[in-house]
Amino acid sequence: MTQKTSPAITVVWFKRDLRLQDHAPLHYAASQSAPVLPLYLFEPDMMADPHHSDRHWRFVWQSLLDMQQQLNAVGAAMHVSYDTAADFFTRLASKYQHITVVSYAETGLACTYQRDQQLTRLFKTLGIVWQEYSCSGVIRALSTRRHWLRNWQDVMTAPQQTTALNSMHWLTDLSLVTRLPKALSHPLNRPNNAMQTGGETHAHETLQSFIHSRHQHYHRHISSPLKSFNSCSRLSAYLAWGNISIRQVYQAIVIPGSKLPASLRAFVSRLHWHCHFIQKFESECEQQFRHINTAYAAFPYRDDDKSAQHLNAWQTGNTGIPMVDACMRSVSETGYLNFRMRAMLVSFLSHYLLIDWRRGVQHLARQFLDFEPGIHYPQFQMQAGVTGTNTLRIYNPVKQAQDNDPNGDFIRRWVPEIAHLPNEDLFGPWQMPPIAQLSLQQPIPQRYIAPVINPEEVIVKHRELLWQWRERDEVKHHAKRIIARHSNPSPR
């Protein structure tokens, strides 16, 4: 039998909060006399979940390396293990007598919720105390939104929880750690220069570059798939994985007594929406599996053999619709895509191809480096038009290209096989007369002459169907429930 060695320890369990400052659980641990063990678990169930891909775990790994570099200066070590949470904490309880675990409450997928339920029972059996903290103004078991906005504002303006790392009593016990398997460690150590690098240091550098210069064209370039790479904040991945807190971003921008330029005002409003959508998912996490407006359960989505082919074409960026393909190829390579183009991809899937959004939701989760369950699912449903509360927005991929990539630079970069086409034919090559195609020095690939669907033709009947459903009595009935549960009342 293993001899228990220490009367009390505090475990700071990091999950989607990979930073060492403005971190409530760590700040609490620093105030206690018990030694502190910092922990991150690469959990097998999470890594096998179809929402995640190597890009996510690489970003997490980079974040952990950044944290370790900071801890090196104070003689501490991150404890990183490939383990189920139940196995790790059972092993921990065999060595230590009194264990307190502190962490943020996670608004995650069903697999993390089920894990937490299992741990609650296990901790009770093992005598482990588990203390969870709310994150970014998101409230667990919220019954009404009446005071949510006021609470969020209070959280954003409260003092940051700064922790003096060099004054803490750190515990190092590497005997608890299992090695990462080769299949896991190889992709994590392989650099990818096309994507952002994880870590608290990079998060703050990105924030400062946005505040000092890049924000100037934020509100003008936000819809451009090319210009948004620089003019948008590019903080979404750092927020999703907790390299920086919403409060740190808010307070770096909103200085009491100072007037913000229009670009930063527009950005700050989106910080509120960020947390609003996570709260929606926290309050109704069944959105992972079903339409939030249950009246859409019988909507006649396609489920034929061709729909599977069209879904694959959408996923691989081979639909024959230049802007759709450019966006999918771009996000697959870089992990980033601006909001409008994300909305267009979902709209094309659900409105033009008439494919159930649930058949594409995990694919885009794997592509988005900033995958955040609490934002991903409510946004996906909103753009698919199955809430019954939001305006039905059908994004014409040809018009989106004309409006937001007028010179064709983005399409030419990501769909080089049609880069030789003049602008007037680049956005809808299938419309080019056959006699005009003969004058081209390089032929148009067949896929762009005969795309998976002709968007101008299919959307006529699909739009009629979508609006007919939007006006159904049962859709409107469920919409009232959604508004009552998830809307923020006016501050007045």
pLDDT in tens, 377-411: 999 999 999 999 988 999 999 999 999 999 999 99
pLDDT bin (cut points 50, 70, 90) of residue 188 is low
What one-character-per-residue DSSP string does 52-90 give? --HHHHHHHHHHHHHHHHHHHTTT---EEEES-HHHHHH
Asked if residue 345 and residue 294 are part of one domain, the reply reads yes
Q: How far apart are CA 83 and CA 96, in angstroms?
A: 18
pLDDT bin (cut points 50, 70, 90) of residue 454 is very high
Answer whether residue 242 is part of any domain. Answer: yes
Domain count, the chain: 3
Asked if residue 324 and residue 206 are part of one domain, the reply reads no
Answer whether residue 179 is part of any domain. Answer: no
CATH (domain of 42): 3.40.50.620
Q: What's the pLDDT at 450?
A: 96
CATH (domain of 243): 1.25.40.80
Q: What's the pLDDT at 255?
A: 92
Q: How far apart are CA 431 and CA 439, in angstroms?
A: 15
Give the single-character DSSP code of 416.
G
Q: What's the pLDDT at 192?
A: 79
Asked if residue 233 and residue 120 are part of one domain, the reply reads no
Asked if residue 220 and residue 303 are part of one domain, the reply reads no
Answer whether residue 176 is part of any domain. Answer: no
- Answer whether residue 492 shows pLDDT above 60: no
Q: Which of residues 215, 248, 283 is at a domain's end?
A: 283
Whether 15 contacts 103, CB under 8 Å = yes
Please provide the size of the chain in residues: 492
Asked if residue 19 and residue 41 are part of one domain, the reply reads yes
Mean pLDDT across 134-152: 89
**CB-based burial label for 331 (10 Å; 0-12, 13-18, 19+):** buried
CA dihedral (148, 151, 157, 159) positive or negative: negative
Asked if residue 413 and residue 473 are part of one domain, the reply reads yes
Q: Which of residues 283, 317, 343 is at a domain's end?
A: 283
Mean pLDDT across 193-198: 93
Q: What's the pLDDT at 178?
A: 85
Asked if residue 272 and residue 152 are part of one domain, the reply reads yes
Mean pLDDT across 258-266: 92
Asked if residue 444 and residue 309 are part of one domain, the reply reads yes
pLDDT bin (cut points 50, 70, 90) of residue 144 is confident
Phi, psi of 70 (to 5 degrees): -70, -40
Answer whether residue 309 is part of any domain. Answer: yes
Asked if residue 427 and residue 396 are part of one domain, the reply reads yes
Cβ burial 405-430 (10 Å sphere, 16+ → b, else e): beebebbbebbeebeebeeebbbbbb
Q: How far apart are CA 274 and CA 268, in angstroms?
A: 10
The parent domain of residue 69 ranges over 9-133
Task: Please list, in sequence order, all residues whose beta carbon lies within 8 angstroms of the beta carbon of residue 234, skipping any fewer than 6 positions away.
Answer: 196, 206, 210, 336
Answer whether residue 128 is part of any domain. Answer: yes
| Sheet containing 99-104: order of strands | 79-82, 36-42, 9-14, 99-104, 129-133
Whether 259 contacts 122, CB under 8 Å = no
Q: What's the pLDDT at 384?
A: 97
Q: Which of residues 283, 309, 331 is at a domain's end?
A: 283
pLDDT bin (cut points 50, 70, 90) of residue 441 is confident
CATH (domain of 444): 1.10.579.10
Answer whether residue 168 is part of any domain. Answer: no
Q: What's the pLDDT at 1?
A: 46
pTM: 0.95
Answer whether residue 349 is part of any domain. Answer: yes
Give the single-character DSSP code of 451.
-
- Answer whether residue 291 shows pLDDT above 50: yes
Asked if residue 307 and residue 405 are part of one domain, the reply reads yes
Asked if residue 363 and residue 346 are part of one domain, the reply reads yes
Mean of per-residue pLDDT scores for the chain: 94
Q: Where are the alpha helices (DSSP H) in 301-349?
A: 305-316, 322-334, 339-347
CA torsion, ordered 377, 222, 428, 459, to nearest 10 deg: 40
Answer whether residue 181 is part of any domain. Answer: no
Give the single-character DSSP code of 350.
I
pLDDT bin (cut points 50, 70, 90) of residue 185 is low
Q: What's the pLDDT at 437?
A: 87
Place of tokens 């056959």: 434
Asked if residue 24 and residue 88 are part of one domain, the reply reads yes
